[in-house]
Structure 1
Amino acid sequence: MTQATRACPYCNDPMTNSRRKQCGKPDCKRAFNAERMRKWQREYQAEHGQWYTSHKHGEAQRAYHRQKREEQGHWRKLYPAAAAAYDARRRMRVEQASQGEPVVPAEVHARDGWTCRLCGGPIDPEVAWPDPMSASVDHIVPLALGGAHAMANVQSAHLSCNSRKRDKIIDQVKPIKLP
């Protein structure tokens, strides 16, 4: 007895498990999860009249970062040579990165069709920072890992997607079909 198959809605490969929403390939999972998150955000906004943002932890985060800054100042006083070496390495990275061509965020977003290159979702130019769905410029190879600050090394991304990526390099980015 043969099982009925249907096509994966993201890559059109046949799926034998009728309960699955996608075939399970990493790109299909990523697209499915991004679509599900966009749907959830629309439902949340319709129900609450605003986008979901996590403000309930805001004061705790501010206190945490304030404490970390104080600890860092204490560390700098205890280990001035290590602090100076850290500062020198950071200055060198920034200087090397700034020797590249200027990166204009508006040009990056226009080039990428206002599409997030990490999740594939549309970026609304009207949404402003610090909204998680606001536009940001992501370094494909992060500056911390030796990437250049150049148009060839940047891409459009939602602020939340860019934050989630952190300083990682994504080997395979799903090609995005622009309309």
Structure 2
Amino acid sequence: MWGRCPRTGVRKVTGVAPANACVGLSHFFGEACVTSSPNAARNAALARWANASSSERSAAARHAALARWGREADPLSVAARAELEADRTARRQSPCLNCGEPVGHARRKYCPKPECFLARRATETAERRARQGRESYGYTEAIAEAYHRRRAIKKGATVEKFSHVEVFERDNWTCGICSELVDREARWPEPLSVSLDHIIPLALGGDHSRANTQCAHLACNVRKGARAA
């Protein structure tokens, strides 16, 4: 009697030995897949299939497809796929560069936790700025000064040219909003990094001048917003 393996679809003959062995499922799992007699062996093979990983099931499907066409799997290609899968598994277990836990993906260096995502963004930003020659504080300060001047001009405010560091030194690197010291080593966008605050905001008609500016934490400056001190 002719039939097909319920898992692999490979045609088999029941009641006739030894042609009743399934060459698909049994070829991979090493168990007989027959419906006529040894149900224990068949059930064991099905149990192994149910507990197999996706890569093992893919390999079994490839073997079954080759068996349908009367071909044998190329040992070299099988070995190469096994080596590739082993390499992918090892890379999935590689530690996250921030927290040290497995990343869970062959191409990732950081796990998907929010804090690790922010760490990756910060690292990529620092590397990009280093490649572009923007790692020096003087460069970023010049950019910030130009930004404030352009913004003041658009608002029609009085614009005075001066260095931000001049104001920071005048205020002894003390936040004019919370009166706490500012960390000189912190860099934007760290909350405790230094920023230039307009006492009367430009949006409310304040000038971009030494008299209308003060040293402030970035976080304090953001919380203050467009409100007068």
TM-score (norm 2): 0.34
Ranked by relative contact order (alpha carbons within 8 Å, sequence separation 6 or more), the top structure is 1
> Which structure would you say has the larger Rg?
2
Please, what TM-score do these two structures have when normalized by structure 1?
Answer: 0.43
